[in-house]
Structure 1
């Protein structure tokens, strides 16, 4: 079994250039579970000719560092659902569940930002 991942967007936690400021705006849309962000992401993946990467793949949304509560936003789920809806991935698998909070590297610039989400492909 092998695991592949694709990091499509980069996030800049600081900086004052237009690109760095825009990256934080995009990250906010992602973290808020904005479906418009996910839809545009799907379009950009297709425009970048990366659709083949998702052929015959299962998408596994990576949960946040604390257990989900009712009504909480699960951005990785929104992204994966939108990708599958747009034929970028075959199936959505919920195999990762957080039962106890864990350190999420927030002091180290958020090791895994949703903007740099990992799309895991099981071959």
Structure 2
């Protein structure tokens, strides 16, 4: 083997290690991104469940008045760890909008919102 060829081969030493480190860093970053997306999806589902239960709870006490219905929705939201942003009563329909915090790790905390309606079935549809 010539001296120039031996020098060229020595320059390639460690190339696979560098590539493996870069690939591993990419996989770790991808895993973190997928984990953050999962956190947001779970927060959105929890907010939707709280909105659904809040609207059903409000509709169950609607005979006592709109204030009692919205108070029930707020209580259900409080127990589920969300904030009721809006509660609207129109005739026998109750619309509840809730907001919940979703932690994005290094990106901070963002709000996710969900809405639900509860009331009698519309027979004309």
Classify the TM-score, shorter chain: under 0.3
* Higher relative contact order, structure no. (Cα contacts within 8 Å, ≥ 6 residues apart): 1
* TM-score (ref. length: structure 2): 0.25
Greater helix share, structure number: 2
Tell me which structure has the larger Cα radius of gyration. 2
* TM-score (ref. length: structure 1): 0.26
